[in-house]
Amino acid sequence: MNALTPARNWADYGYAALIVLAGCLTWQLYHGYLDYYEQGILLGSAAGLIWLGWFWKPMRWYFPLTALLALAAIGLYQGELARGQSAFWLKYILSSQSAVMWMCVLFFLAMFVYWLGLFKRSATALRVATGLTWAAAVMAMTSKLVRWYESYLIGADIGHIPVSNLYEVFILFCLITALMYLYYEAKFQARSMGAFVLPIICAAVAFIIWYTFDRQAHEIQPLIPALQSWWMKIHVPANFVGYGAFAIAAMLGIAWLLASPKAIQPATRKGLLVGSLAVFALTLLAHLNAASLASDPNNLTGVGFAAKFGYSIAGLLLVAANRGRLQHVFPKPDMLEEVSYQAIAVGFLFFTIATVLGAMWAADAWGGYWSWDPKETWALIVWLNYATWLHIRLVKGWRGEVLAWWSVVGLFITTFAFIGVNMFLSGLHSYGGL
């Protein structure tokens, strides 16, 4: 049976019964700590998990497995956070930080094996890469559940859902992007797409590693007052479904350009290669010069973030220079275009929901739905960008190169809205900086 077939059987109803049982146990144990809104979130989460398991069959084992691993970790803690450094299984596998490190290793391995399978045209290697990606997603979800419990071991007033800072939301980004990719991989039977999607996940993984060892960001901190709200539990995950979908579309846009049958003239290719090297060299010199003059670590971080845009431009020029040269290795352009469209459509829906939820949260916290704060303004820019992309495709019928480049540029806009605004522009959301 196809993994995406919606037909119901005993396994579907057994899975639903398991989720209902877990929801009832959660209610029995913790309903005294939940307000009416959080009780609604619990009910909606149970319904959503059942729907996901029915819609996409792998979720029937994925959610129970991650729950069992998290419960195993909770049992090993025995109510003492210090056991995370002494109990073998916690220290090396099941504590939240250990699980995150396993996630990082598995995602990097998956990326390398995807590229190996792509160029060797090895179905076996691609299957192994898919398995590694699933394993990384399991460890990512386990880390989120265990970290949630660990925060309550520190103190009842400290405990919170782990989506409150850049370290936690980058793990969420890796998790959501990986699961969305795995869905499209199964739907279109195109494992080779992983060679393009995994690099953006691994870029986030690299940030997590740097942020962990340079800033000790893995340490659990109390929520600041602005984030002490049940709105965070629904606003942030909805946002990151959008971010993950837009990232997938951008990376497949790059794949489309490389797989396109339209090759470019040798003189143009040479010019683009020279331009790529020039932009890279100039960005590197500016980066090193600015870093040597920056005395404040926060300014140094900002310099590095800004430099990444220059390096990315150099990379895009390199992609343009190789347009059409790898069409016999990469997936078919028509399929890549369809996956990009579906990803942007889903991402746009969830980003719209997240924006509406954010406005409602703002009204609850600050007394107004919209204040033209820089974060809000750039969220609107992101929304308008993808609304226009969808309009152009659906109404005007555009296809191909323009939309591929547009999806790539859209990732730059989204990245600045996500991180850049917090680093370079001050406003009500300035608490989200590095």
DSSP string, 3-65: TT-----HHHHHHHHHHHHHHHHHHHHHGGG--HHHHHHHHHHHHHHHHHHHHSTTHHHHHHH
* Prediction pTM value: 0.90
Helix 194-215 / helix 123-154 crossing angle, nearest 10 deg: 30
Within 8 A by CB and 6+ apart from 102, the residues are 93, 136, 139
pLDDT value for 419:
85
Of 47, 52, 44, whose CA–CA distance to 3 is shortest? 52
Within 8 A by CB and 6+ apart from 327, the residues are 258, 259, 260, 261, 333
Question: Amino acid letter at 306?
Answer: A
Give the lowest-confidence range in 43-52, 134-143, 193-202, 278-287.
278-287
Residue-wise pLDDT tens digits, 124-136: 999 999 999 999 9
Within 8 A by CB and 6+ apart from 196, the residues are 251, 252, 254, 255
pLDDT at residue 293 is higher than 70: no
pLDDT, average across residues 212-237: 85
DSSP code per residue over 185-212: HHHHT-GGGHHHHHHHHHHHHHHHHHHH
User: Are 178 and 136 contacting, i.e. CB atoms less than 8 angstroms apart?
Assistant: yes
- DSSP-derived letter for residue 56 is S
Share of the chain above pLDDT 90, in %: 56
Query: Which of 43-57, 207-221, 325-339 tops mean pLDDT?
Result: 43-57
Give the lowest-confidence range in 90-104, 260-274, 375-389, 411-425.
260-274
- The beta-strand segments (E) located in 140-280 are none
pLDDT value for 248:
97
pLDDT at residue 291 is higher than 70: no
Q: How many Cβ atoms sit within 10 Å of the Cβ of residue 59?
A: 19
pLDDT value for 432:
55
For residue 429, what pLDDT band results from cuts at 50, 70 and 90? Answer: low
Judged on CB neighbours under 10 Å (0-12, 13-18, 19+), 266 is exposed
The secondary structure element, H or E, covering residue 364 is: helix 333-366
pLDDT, average across residues 12-37: 87
Within 8 A by CB and 6+ apart from 222, the residues are 157, 158
What are the CA-CA distances from residue 255 to residues 194, 341, 422 (Å)? 10, 14, 30
pLDDT, average across residues 373-386: 93
Q: State the residue for tokens 């409150």.
A: 164
pLDDT value for 1:
43
pLDDT value for 400:
85
pLDDT at residue 226 is higher than 80: no
Residue-wise pLDDT tens digits, 231-279: 888 999 999 999 999 999 999 998 898 887 666 677 777 887 888 888 8
Residue-wise pLDDT tens digits, 295-312: 555 555 666 767 777 888
Q: Please state, rounded to an integer, the average pLDDT across all residues of the chain.
A: 87
Share of the chain above pLDDT 70, in %: 91
pLDDT value for 172:
97
pLDDT, average across residues 99-119: 95
* Joined tokens for residue 428: 């009500």
DSSP SS3 for 34 = coil
